Amino acid sequence: MKILVVDDDPIVIKSCKRILEAEGFEVFSCPSADDALEKVKHCDFDLLLMDVKMPKHDGIFLMKEIKKNWPDIPIIVMSGYPTPETIADVVKLGATQFIPKPFRPDEFMKTIRRVIQQMPPKTFFPTGAGGG
């Protein structure tokens, strides 16, 4: 399963990667909304983890773009500013889950697992099988 982590804080990216890779996930990361959009264009991600507050384009901008172009990718929003307004905004835009920063690894993985359990199963066809 491929997960993209989008956060302008390298410490957050490092800790997310460490936790997720230890659980066997394939983790990609980038520091900005613009970089994330480029990555999503070229790779099929199963899940996005993103910060709200980022320079230039924020997580709200990124969520709108992702939901417009790739509506089926689940998004977990992380924020160090968990105000009721922020949570309401991201949920309204289609966030699957919200997790306040800082978070403990066990809380983080509990949220990830909850989202994965809600995902519809993907249909995989081995080379030459299916479809015809």
Read off the pLDDT of residues 25-79 as tens digits, 9 standing for 90 and up.
999 999 999 999 999 999 999 999 999 988 888 888 999 999 999 999 999 999 8
Report the C-alpha gap between 109 and 19 in whole angstroms. Answer: 8
DSSP H helical ranges for the chain: 10-22, 33-42, 59-69, 84-92, 105-118
Q: Which amino acid is at 89?
A: D
Residue 4 DSSP SS3:
strand
Top-ranked range on mean pLDDT: pick from 7-11, 56-60, 120-124: 7-11
Neighbours of 131 (CB within 10 A): 6
Write down the pTM of the prediction. 0.87
Confidence of residue 123 (pLDDT cuts 50, 70, 90): low
Report the C-alpha gap between 122 and 101 in whole angstroms. Answer: 30
Q: Which amino acid is at 10?
A: P
Looking at 3.40.50.2300, 1.10.240.10, 3.40.50.10470, 3.40.50.1100, the CATH number of the domain 2-117 comes to: 3.40.50.2300
Parse the chain into domains and list their residue ranges.
2-117
